Structure 1
Amino acid sequence: MERSVTHIALFAALIAVLGLVPQITLITGVPITAQSLGIMLCGTVLGAKRGALAVLLFLLLVALGLPLLSGGRGGLGVFAGPTVGFLIGFPIAAFVAGLVVERSRINIFAASVIGTTLGGIVLLYGFGIVGMSVVLGKTLPEAAALALVYLPGDLIKVVLAGLITQTLARVRPAALLSRP
């Protein structure tokens, strides 16, 4: 139990640290950040439940006002902005990525890439597009077109998450909690 709590806190901190990487804010108001890589790694490394809990801890700290989102944003106001759908989707994305890695018996790189693609792109974009549509007053197809700008960067993050998870599995297999 204590080990799990420590891992959850460390990965919440990892998400926050990845927000320090300079962001690029697009015309949609949704920034391109490295934080979604942290969300993906929460799932692939910690597994479904612990990964989702790490993201929920991070979001709780953001809601309490800590400026942990990229660009130093925090507080309840961020949950009313164009990123709201992505924020809501973060813990679910980590859960799905972790679930795929936990249940899959293929090699860890492939399982991580599949999990992060399903959770960190397909599912997260679904939530994000709906949130952008509502907040920006766009139709779903218009919001989807705006979201496509993020796809190349997110595909790079999927590969990075797979490589990082695979390397961790090779170097410190006991640290990979997503695989029994």
Structure 2
Amino acid sequence: MERDVTFIALFAALIAILGLVPSLTLISGVPISAQSLGVMLAGTVLGAWRGALAATLVVVLVALGLPLLAGGRGGLGVFFGPTVGFLVGWIPAAFVAGLVTERLKRWPTFPAAAAGAVLGGILVLYIPGILGMAAILGKSLPEATLLSTPFIPGDILKAVLAGLVTATLARARPGSVPSRPAG
């Protein structure tokens, strides 16, 4: 239990710290930031429930006003902006990334974690992200989807990086990656 709380807090901090990496804001008002890498890692390293709880902790802290998002944003106002879908999408994204990583037990860690990061951190994340942009920006779903395309190459790179980091951690410290129990 204590170990779980520590891991959840550590990965929530990682997601927040990755918001300090300079981001590029697109015309849609949605920044390309490193924070989605933290969400992917929370899932692929911690597993479904712990990863989702780490993402939830960050979302709650942002709602309370902490400036933890890219560009130092925070507070209830972000829930009324074009990034809202991506922000709330972090929770199911981390969950699915972890679930896929956990379920692909027969696969080596790198491809299992990379697949989890792609399915959770890209596919699942983009669904609420695109819906949120469409609603807030008054765009059709095809228009909002088109606005999301600049994110894809970077997110694929992040998914590969999440797979590599997860596999490296599992190899270097067997048992330290809850999504991939040693044994």
Scaled by the length of structure 2, the TM-score of the pair is 0.97
Tell me whether 1:99 sits opposite 2:99 in the alignment: yes
Partner of 2:146: 145
1:40 is paired with a residue whose SS is: helix
Partner of 1:133: 134
1:19 is paired with a residue whose SS is: helix
1:173 is paired with a residue whose SS is: coil
Q: Is the contact between residue 67 and residue 74 of structure 2 (CA under 8 Å) also seen in structure 1?
A: yes
* CA RMSD, Structure 1 to Structure 2 (Å): 0.6
Runs ≥4 in structure 1, deviation > 3 angstroms?
none
In the TM superposition, 1:1-180 aligns within 5 A as 1-104=1-104, 105-180=106-181
Quick one: which amino acid aligns to residue 69 of structure 1? L
Gaps of 5+ in 2: none
In 1, Cα distance between equivalents of 2:164 and 2:103: 19
Percent of pairs identical after alignment?
Answer: 68
In 1, Cα distance between equivalents of 2:102 and 2:157: 22
Structure 1 residue 113: deviation in Å?
Answer: 1.1
In 1, Cα distance between equivalents of 2:86 and 2:70: 13
The number of residue pairs the alignment matches comes to 180
Q: Is the contact between residue 41 and residue 162 of structure 2 (CA under 8 Å) also seen in structure 1?
A: yes
Scaled by the length of structure 1, the TM-score of the pair is 0.99
In 1, Cα distance between equivalents of 2:160 and 2:115: 10
In 2, Cα distance between equivalents of 1:6 and 1:132: 34
